[in-house]
Structure 1
Amino acid sequence: MSEDAVAPVVAAMLIFAIGVTFFAAWNAYYVPSMKAQSEVTHLRDVETGFLRFSSDIGTAASLKRNMQLSEPIPLGGGDFTFDAVKSGGLLRVQNETDGYLRISIINGTSPATTSNILRFANYSYQPVNNFWQDQGYTWSYGNVNVTKGTLETPLQYTSMDTITYGMAGTLFDLDAVPLPDDPATCSQMNIYIVNITPSAGHTHASGNGNGMLTLESAVVSQQFPNTTSMTVSINPALPGGFRDALWDDADNQSASEVLNCGNAHRIPPTDPLEPDPPIQVTFDTIPNMTLNRKIAEITLGAD
């Protein structure tokens, strides 16, 4: 065989080897790197959506009005120009284990005792076949947390112990309406509370497209004439910081409004050492006290 015939074969083999090396390096380094970078951007978008929706819930709880809000959440990521394969994700809304607060009202109508257990929902994002890290997010008791497996840490605080639970201050409001001719006596008390639950039939979304977190708030009002007492009880099993912040707000509001009404009286707790005891208020039968209960029914959905 002549040297002139061998040379093209060697050149072709060298070109083939270079191509194989380039393709191997492309798949081993460049593609994973680009997909990981795209995934980081995707998770940052999820994080931003969670923070915005957390703010939406805080706004709805604070205003206690009829409203509808929504926030898009990208479920999948990791795609780029030369590789369109995407990861997926699961968006879920569910109730916390127990109710967070109970309002009991006793009045002269039937039934004599009306009790409401108020609930708190949470929402979460869980990645599926992630190209970077299995990083997820949860929103619970007003705060966004970053998750990885069973580990969880707050997004905006240094630790769970430093969370301030600012949303707790928006869940309970109380104001008194004095008689026009006797400002020291009250004819009505308005109590504003918040119930946050999952939207029926819209509790999860999955895939690699765009999901949507939705919020709908509707105010439900009921009037209780001839009210003789009201009790506000906070679930002792709540996270300590959230429980204490909620109790402090309810206690401060109850104390200030009751002081303005000569016909309303705070009942001291049975056990002075009990942490966050029930708040009990009684009302004189004359003049008649009407309690107006207004519940902001907030439903959270995932579509």
Structure 2
Amino acid sequence: MTVDVAGAAAALQAADDILILTHRRPDGDTTGCAGALCRALRQIGKTAYILENPEITKRYAPLIVPCYPPEGFAPGFVVSTDIAEEKLFPDTAEQYKGRVNLAIDHHRSNPGFGRKNLIRPDAGGCAEVLYDVINALGAQFTADIAECIYIGISTDTGCFKYSNTTAHSHAVAAACLTAGIDGGEINRALFETKTMPRFQMERIVFDTMEFYENGAIAVALLWRADIDRTGADMDDLDSIASLTRQIEGVQIGITLTENKDKTVKVSVRTTKEMDAAAICKKCGGGGHIRAAGASFDCGMEEAKAAILNAAQEQYHAKQ
């Protein structure tokens, strides 16, 4: 069942003992959404918690870890935030597959797995949708909630540089600044400050990047050996997929990351001429038009061949 913002707010107002879910490899948007919603629900008198996510990184931990539930908490209502499909649930959320009461998302590929679904593909970040829901709930837009929302939008829009940035994105950001957050400091911490492992991984990406179709397709391989050697963690690898698209002439940027279990995560970033979601869909993935992803159980070389083939098919179809 599809609902609008008012319908989502009404469902939350009628519920209690609420548990909020975030996705695997949690980023700023899913954690920002969950953190903002949990704090807003508590403000209006609801019992609300965020499910533990075993993959949370130190960058985003402050947004959700303080909201983890006590032992024995039994949810009466389950909400997912920024989760495109159930296979992206973290291991701790397996028991909630098929039990999500309300799914709030902005991914066009979301099949509507919740009993009620608020999905807005027009939003630059899911946090934009959460901002509207929080207002509909009647919660006060305090600085702690605003910080969560701002982190969600800024990370999903690349600090408002990506093509998914909308007028509403800027309007919500302005509301966050009005609420008292330090946007400059947040942006510096998220986008300008690099750890040494991050710097080393970026150097590896630029040194080893491969080009196809006369430079229209760029491929970067992040091997587990390099990740372990540099000491990089998920925070250090955050948004590294955007590096391939920074090269002039690249229309399709592909980044493959080898996981600890030797499976492969693929991130695709495209310019306006290409559709990242369509490329990843051919490999069982999905996402946004300009930013999408897929997962492979095979090794790096086989995964590279499959996603490169999908990218080349679309590139030639657009010529």
**TM-score normalised by length of structure 2:** 0.24
Q: Which has the larger radius of gyration?
A: 1
Structure with bigger RCO (C-alpha 8 Å, 6+ apart): 1
The structure that is strand-richer by fraction is: 1
**TM-score normalised by length of structure 1:** 0.25
